[in-house]
Amino acid sequence: MAEERVQRRLAAILAADVVGYSRLMGNDEVGTLAQLQKIRMEVFDPKITQHDGRVVKLMGDGQLVEFASAVDAVTCAIDIQKEMAEQNSSIPDDQKVQFRIGINVGDIIVDGDDIYGDGVNVAARVEGLADPGGIYIPRTAHDQVHDKIPIRIEDRGEQNVKNIANPVRVYSVVMDGDAEIQTSDDADTETRVESSETTSNSIAVLAFNNMSDDADQEYFSDGISEDIITDLSKLANLHVIARNSSFVYKGGAVSIPDVAKELGVRYVLEGSVRKAGNRVRVTAQLIDSTSGGHVWADRYDRDLSDIFAVQDELTQEIVSALKLTLTPDDQERLAHKREIDIDAYNFYLRGREQTRLHTKSGNIEGRKLLDRAIELAPDYAAAHASIAFSHVMDYANGWSEEPESALKSGLELAQRSADMDDKEPLAHFALGVGYMWSKQLDRSMAESSRCLELEPNSADGYLALAHALIFNGEPEAAIDRIETYIDLDPLFPDLMLHFLAEARISLKQFEKAVEVLRQRLDRNPNSESAIALLASCYGNLGKLDEGKEALASLLKIDPGFSLDRKKQVLPFRNISDFGIRADGLRALGFSEPSTDS
């Protein structure tokens, strides 16, 4: 008779065990059993079903669950531990039910509904190593999930475990959100901070997770994150990554070492915000990417009206954790805050979010919300400045039926904002851009420089100054500012490439400009301004075939493209700089569109 073939398969195994089960049973056997039954029905069973798991067996103090993928198993474990942390938050310590969870990916032997083998054994042994309320995984699971789930994973080193021949490398899953954050015990904070002498003080603030029940509250968690970036950007001796780059990772799986490497920083701040009624909970943790350990972590449960105090405390904690020495100017910039009505602040965040879309409709909707903020707080300088900048952008992008009126309104509102609060960086930024488009280049550069005095890490301030320098006939100085901008915003938007190309063209470095414009068009194929500059570069290089092809693409997108209109709008101080661009197009045979009806 043929020997029956053993059935095997690859699976992700979750092993869960109650911490202090014997103690809980000794204190209240009936109550503990009832509580565990309730937890299984209300927490474990729904989460396991949600993530397509199968309960293999139940034990008095735990259970074994099979999943088809490590991602499902780890996500399920995180959901369970977060739910348990929430339930335990109001229970005395001696009555809390906590679980250790271990997850392994490996080969298992199937016997009916039961499973056996090293795949199961490793999961159980790893679970025994986990902290109360924690999740431990070996390398097999780590390699499956580290870049697919928005978690941070700490290496706990190799561990010898019972009945497993070789040491197992173990990792701890560190959860975001409302689970209680513990600082790492295996590395000394003092040592980590002092070692920063070998690396410049640099930080990226990731978008805080919105943990509110209402997904529409995401504007609030984003706003908190952005305001922390703005506060830290006021410190001259701290390199702070711009919102544009740090928010790229929003909503996705993040590996802190990978993020830090991509952004060129040592420290990363991450956290979450839960807003419910008039209460807000903010959690934050500062991570040293060189070790993966916490430098500092805390949680704030406050009235919503205290959110500004929370932001101030967060900033001060980061300054303290990094042992930054603040100059008198730094201290003055941080201390300069004005009390704002919380409802006005909400409208401001929502309006700012809309204007950040950089669209005509976003500006219109943003102004409505910002107007509501000003109704509640008439002296809200930042709200006035945001409206001002939206009007200037309407002018620059041709989104207004009365462009000159839009530019005038933008300048007047920006000046009003600066008059209300001369230390509001956004007011001077808006003035800098507004003055540039109104061809007042000296005032533009002065205002952008003032913005940078108030916020030394302002990426927008550097880009605005670079743009004005290009129009002022100083392309080399502009490139210097652009390089600083790239350091602050390494995952820059394609618009930055436009400014760099403009500077190269002013230097008559047409080949370099073509390279940059090609990069921009890879990201934004229908950019009319990029295609126009590309055609001009080819014309200046004598590459007529390539140039005519680019010119045809330009006129297909914008049949009414006019050099005369560009000459009127673009604020070049030296007409010869505009002439470089015009000569390249004319070399391709471009002529002004007919005005005949």
Per DSSP, the residues of 382-436 read HHHHHHHHHHHHHHHHT--SSHHHHHHHHHHHHHHHHHH-TT-HHHHHHHHHHHH
Residue 71 clears pLDDT 70, i.e. is over it: yes
Nearest Cα residue to 348 out of 367, 361, 333, 362: 367
**Cα–Cα distance, 121 to 109 (Å, whole number):** 11
Confidence of residue 95 (pLDDT cuts 50, 70, 90): confident
**Cα–Cα distance, 18 to 102 (Å, whole number):** 12
Average pLDDT, the chain: 89
Residue 376 burial class via C-beta count within 10 angstroms: exposed 0-12, middle 13-18, buried 19 and up: middle
Contact 266, 289 (CB under 8 A): yes
In this prediction, residues 115-130 reach a mean pLDDT of: 87
Neighbours of 402 (CB within 10 A): 11
Nearest Cα residue to 425 out of 259, 262, 572, 227: 227
Which pLDDT value is given to residue 338? 73
CA dist 284 → 52, 211, 386, 457 (Å)? 31, 13, 28, 22
CA dist 13 → 53, 148, 287 (Å)? 9, 18, 30
Q: How many CA atoms lie within 13 A of 461 on its CB side?
A: 23
Strand partners, 137: 171
- In tens, the pLDDT along 495-529 reads 999 999 999 999 999 999 999 999 999 999 999 99
59: which residues sit within 8 A by CB, 6+ positions away?
Answer: none
**Cα–Cα distance, 503 to 533 (Å, whole number):** 11
Which of 189-203, 300-314, 350-364, 539-553 bottoms out in mean pLDDT, i.e. has the lowest?
A: 189-203
Nearest Cα residue to 172 out of 160, 184, 163, 190: 184
Which of 3-17, 224-238, 564-578 bottoms out in mean pLDDT, i.e. has the lowest?
A: 3-17
- Which segments of 40-101 does DSSP mark as H helices, in order? 45-50, 70-88
Contact 16, 62 (CB under 8 A): yes
Confidence of residue 473 (pLDDT cuts 50, 70, 90): very high
- 474 phi and psi, to 5 degrees? -125, 65
Confidence of residue 60 (pLDDT cuts 50, 70, 90): low
Q: Which two tokens stand for residue 498?
A: 């436009």
Residue 196 clears pLDDT 90, i.e. is over it: no
Q: Which two tokens stand for residue 95?
A: 């009555």
Strand partners, 279: 276, 303
Residue 378 clears pLDDT 70, i.e. is over it: yes
Degrees to nearest 5, angle at CA 489 with 486 and 492: 85
Q: Tell which wins on pLDDT, 161 or 155.
A: 155
Neighbours of 595 (CB within 10 A): 6
| Residue 285 amino acid letter | Q
In this prediction, residues 552-556 reach a mean pLDDT of: 96
In this prediction, residues 564-573 reach a mean pLDDT of: 95
224: which residues sit within 8 A by CB, 6+ positions away?
Answer: 208, 273, 282, 307, 311
**Cα–Cα distance, 34 to 17 (Å, whole number):** 16
Ordered domains of the chain (ranges, CATH): 7-174 (3.30.70.1230), 189-335 (3.40.50.10610), 338-456 (1.25.40.10), 493-597 (1.25.40.10)
Length of the chain: 597
Which pLDDT value is given to residue 479? 95
244: which residues sit within 8 A by CB, 6+ positions away?
Answer: 459, 489, 491, 492, 493
**Cα–Cα distance, 320 to 16 (Å, whole number):** 39
- In tens, the pLDDT along 173-190 reads 986 543 332 333 333 323
**Cα–Cα distance, 105 to 534 (Å, whole number):** 53
Q: What is the pTM of this model?
A: 0.67
192: which residues sit within 8 A by CB, 6+ positions away?
Answer: 288, 290, 291, 293, 295
Stated as kind and residue range, the H or E segment containing 499 is helix 494-506
Nearest Cα residue to 365 out of 384, 346, 347, 385: 347
Which of 304-313, 324-333, 410-419 bottoms out in mean pLDDT, i.e. has the lowest?
A: 324-333
Which pLDDT value is given to residue 128? 85
Residue 5 clears pLDDT 70, i.e. is over it: no
Neighbours of 508 (CB within 10 A): 12
